[in-house]
Each structure stands twice: as C-alpha cells, then as structure tokens.
Amino acid sequence: MTGRELDAAGITDPALRDAYRRCRALNARHGRTYFLATRLLPPDRRPAVHALYGFARYADDIVDSMGAVGPSGTVAPLDTVGATTPDPTAEDAGTARSTRAGRSAGHAGHAGNAPGAPLGDGAPDGARGAALARLAVQLDRALPGGPEAEPTASRAPEATGRVEAADPVGADPAVAAEPGAAAGPVAAGSAPTEPVVTAVAHTAARYAIPRRHFTDFLDSMRSDLTVTDYATYADLLGYMHGSAAVIGLQMLPVLGTTVPREEAEAPAAALGVAFQLTNFLRDVGEDLDRGRVYLPQDLLHAHGVDRALLSWSRTTGRTDARITAALRAAEHLVRGVYREAAPGLAMLDPVSRPCIRAAFVLYRGILDAVAADGYPVLHRRCAVPRHRRAVVALDGLVRCTAARYRSGTPAWPAPRTTPARRPTGPEEAR
C-alpha cells in the first residue's frame, strides 16, 4: 500500500501500516479485478478494502492449503507478501471465493507437515481446521469489545434466489477507532499474531462493522473442509450467506451510502453472491479437481448432469450437450442475481460508485466471455479481454474524477511534505 493512501486514512502506527501493506499485497496478487476497482476509491478508503479482502483471502488460503505452517502453527500464504503491483488490466491470477472471490490452485502437498512446510492439497482436513480455528481465536480477541462481545446472528437466505440481508447494523459507534488508532485488545497490548488480523480488526473498529459478519464468514470457510457439493440452490445460498453476502455487508460502511444502510444491505449482499456465483461458473473444472462441485445438484440434474459426467468431460476434454445446457442455465441464474444487485449501485456514496460499478461490469463480463466461448469452463478459464478491462478502467477513472470534483474531494491526494505524526497513547505503548 502506498504511504499516501495510509496517510490519507490517518494510519500512522508503523506496525499497523505494515499490516495494511501486507493486505494490499494479497489483493494485488490474487484479486486483480478487485485491486483495479479499489484503485478507483478515494485514497483514504482503500486501506480498509484491502484489509477486508486480505483477511478473506488469508482464510481462503488456509482452506485451500495455499500456505505454509509457521512456528506458531498458523498458516501464512505463500508468495504473497511483498508482491509487486501487477498490471491492473491483466486477468485475475485467482480471486478469493469470498469477495469476494475463486480459489487458487494449491501446491502439491503431503500429510504430516512440519512447521514451515507447504500445507498443499494433500494436507489433512484436521490441520486446516486447526489453522482456521487459530485464526478465528485471534480475530475474536482482536475485534472491538473482546471475545464474543456480539452474539452470532446468522440468518439463512430465502430459497427464491433473493439474498436476505443480515440484521441492520447496530454496532455502538463508540467502538469506532479514531484514525490511526488501534482497536480494542489490539491497543491493549494483545496484538494478534497475523498482520491480516491486525488490519481487519482495526478496520472493523473504525467502521463499526458488526462482529457477526466475520463469524458467519468463518463458519462458511469451515464448511468447505467437509462439504463438497450442494443438493439445492437454497442450500448453496446458505453457504454463500457467509462466504459472499457478508462481504458485501462488510463493505457497506466503508463505501458509504446515500440511503439508510439497511436499505442498501440486500443489494450489497446480492452483489457479493453474484460475484461468487460467477466464480463458481468460471471455475467448474478447477473446483472439480479439488473434489468440489459448487453448482447445485438440482440445477445439474434438471439437465441430466451429475458429478460423473462432469469428471468424464474434465478428464477426456470432450463436451456434452447436457453439460452445456446446465452451464447455460447457471449463467442465466447468475444474471438474475446481478439484476437484484444493480439497484444498489445508486445507493452508494457517489465517490464509491465508480469502484463498485467497475467490479460489477468486469465480473458480469466474465459471464459474457463464458457464453461467447461456448461454456468451456471444464477445460479452461474464460477471461474478459484485456482491451475490455482497459476500457472499463478508463471509464471508471473518468467517473471517479467527476464524482470527486462534484463532491469537492481532490481527485488525487497532494504529495505529503511532512513526515507522518508519531503515534501517541496506546499505539505508542505497542
């Protein structure tokens, strides 16, 4: 993360700045569509988005074994921290299932990993579950209010395909941290081990993001350790409430709204689901290699498709009209969720709209690419053409500049001429 963005956000503590930089590196390497879109936000809001994505990506890497077991028994994603900023118009190297967001291919692995050794796809579920549990404990201790300050309020979405929003945000605004201040137990000297936890806890405190959104997310991550398919679309929606819908809900306080936040929650949750369903369709073959089929069985069976037929197509490289019909039905289903999400764009703070609109256009463009290529997702990944991504990026730049001009916000922050303020109080003690 650039120092200018951190300065704009008022984040001054060196350790906290480093934690946010690590989250940005995860976003830059693994979520290039999101990284491109995030650059269209005002600089002071970008660190929070990187923190939310970085934490989601880190948990996702634990589930899919993209990490190394450290001396403390935690899992650190490989080849992420310190990654160079990619070309933002390049296709995603692999986007987290949550935000958003597809799982990246894991490293070849083995059971009984020693500390520091790659977990790999062969790591036992017990090791992954233990690492995820440790991450959950760290987060629970770091979030505002201390362990279990807010009861879980997970709610199942409706079976119609419309995502039901979580309870309206009711967090006490008093827990919001001042710019640059550490949050809750973080400031009390019990800083979490993992930098992504430090950053996301600070973001949660600053923007009063309800604890239940993080609890629901981790619940869905745990289910990926044991659940390999979903009988119905309603079952899949239950999973995606935690893995995708809550990501949209986490983002709302950062993005800002022009309507009461509760009114914007349903389309925000739907957009998170739309992004994830897009990844499920794009990554059918890659997910099948990991033993997972996210497309619901009721949709597949309606067209005469089962796991065995999908595996046959993946193995032989041959196509089947029944598979094509099922994938076309899935595409139409996802487009319906995008239509549910679309009204939410106008509910966002005008300076945030170009960011989310760019992500909306680019991710919906993946559906266009899948359909235009004849649904070859069992054999290769479909991508939005690079020139199209460049056009969207340019359009977003024009829109964000215009929005900031109308709002009186500088289009780009002025260079900082004085060093950052030395932190005082709790941060100083750390």
Please state which of the ranges 65-69, 282-286, 301-305 shows the lowest mean pLDDT.
Answer: 65-69
> Helix %, strand %, coil % for the chain, to 5?
55, 5, 40
Question: In a 3-state reduction of DSSP, which class is residue 23?
Answer: helix
Reported as a pLDDT band with limits 50, 70 and 90, residue 387 is low
Residues 281 and 376: beta-carbon distance below 8 Å: no
Tally of CB atoms within 10 A around 414: 8
Cα within 13 Å of Cα(242), Cβ side: 24
User: Is the full-model pTM beyond 0.75?
Assistant: no
Residue whose token pair is 């404990």: 137
Q: What is the pLDDT of residue 79?
A: 38
Q: What is the pLDDT of residue 145?
A: 74
Which residue, among 21, 27, 196, has the nearest Cα to 95 in the 3D structure? 27
> How high is the mean pLDDT of the chain?
75
Reported as a pLDDT band with limits 50, 70 and 90, residue 65 is low
Residue whose token pair is 């925000």: 268
Distance CA 367, CA 348 (A): 24
Q: What is the DSSP letter of 418?
A: S
Residues 310 and 327: beta-carbon distance below 8 Å: no
Residues 200 and 38: beta-carbon distance below 8 Å: no
Angle ∠(315,320,325) on CA atoms, nearest 5: 125
Task: Report pLDDT digits (tens) over 239-284.
Answer: 999 999 999 999 999 999 999 999 999 999 999 999 999 999 999 9
Distance CA 239, CA 97 (A): 11
